[in-house]
Chain A
């Protein structure tokens, strides 16, 4: 196990392993997102109260899940980098931040657009909405902080610390709908009870959620590989990858 973790920390080994894993995650993501989109948009029944605006759930919930999961992954990667000095962990954390910010924006945007026909307002300083907005600012802060140091190592350390501190916002987001029940409805999925929706509504949602997670994994693998090429461009093994026939 330790040998495996140690190997995973080696950019060369990670580059080889991720090359084999990547196509599977891309394929899974593409298939599930296409199926989930068609299913959710055209085949799932309309909600008896909300009508067809309810279909926004099929992107809103996966994006909101990812917005939080990406932040936790980034904080864990930051911790691994700080404790064990594993460079690949920092490369992964660096490429996760922009995607996490994008997903947070998507969750906020789709929620606002959904709020107009459903709540009659696109924004309210509700606890869930506000804590998600704070999450977006945390992502932007992590990205800005990383870029604001002359040395890459200092930037990486500062970004890791902010990610680890900022992770406190995640339980606040999760429990905000229970602690301050103002506007946003409570969770759709829970581990302990069955969903309040019929199967024909939540199954396509599950497909979309798994599809979005696969997309995140595939994208992170691909961009971490890019980051390895960028940072390790002086290493012999990288040069040998692109040796042209003489």
Chain B
């Protein structure tokens, strides 16, 4: 341990503003990167599920029960 007390550690020998601001900015960018990636994934999955439900509802409705020829835009076509 390079410091004798916690207060000493926080003071960083008078260099507290430099050390802590550099660390703070770094941690902010690392955490923001993870947070953004997680949010992005959640939103994409929500969108994919929503579209799936819409396609299913479309196919299930009586006037479309004859087949999938007139699929809604953005869904229904199988291009695998």
B residues 37-62 near A (Cβ < 8 Å) are 37, 40-41, 44-45, 47-49, 51-53, 56
CB contacts (< 8 Å) of A99 on chain B: these are 33
Binds B, one of A46-54, A78-86, A129-137: A46-54
- Among A37, A43, A51, contact of B1 (Cβ-Cβ < 8 Å): A43
A235 to B77, CA, bound (A): 9
* B67 sits at the interface (CB 8 A): no
Interface of A is mostly: helix
A231 to B43, CA, bound (A): 14
Interface of B is mostly: helix
A235 to B9, CA, bound (A): 55
Q: Report the minimum CB–CB distance from B47 to chain A (whole Å).
A: 8
* A239 sits at the interface (CB 8 A): yes
| B80 x A56 contact (CB < 8 A) | no
A225 to B12, CA, bound (A): 41
A102 to B27, CA, bound (A): 11
A229 to B40, CA, bound (A): 10
| A242 x B18 contact (CB < 8 A) | no
* A192 sits at the interface (CB 8 A): no
CB contacts (< 8 Å) of B29 on chain A: these are 102-103, 105-106
| B37 x A219 contact (CB < 8 A) | yes
- Among A222, A234, A241, contact of B79 (Cβ-Cβ < 8 Å): A234
Interface string of A105-133 (1 = CB under 8 A from B): 11001100110110000000000000000
Chain B interface residue count: which class? 35 or more
Q: How many residues of A contact B (CB 8 A)?
A: 47
A residues 171-221 near B (Cβ < 8 Å) are 215, 219
* A89 sits at the interface (CB 8 A): no
- Among B26, B33, B48, B75, contact of A242 (Cβ-Cβ < 8 Å): B48
Nearest A residue to B56 via CB reads: A246
| B25 x A109 contact (CB < 8 A) | yes
A42 to B23, CA, bound (A): 13
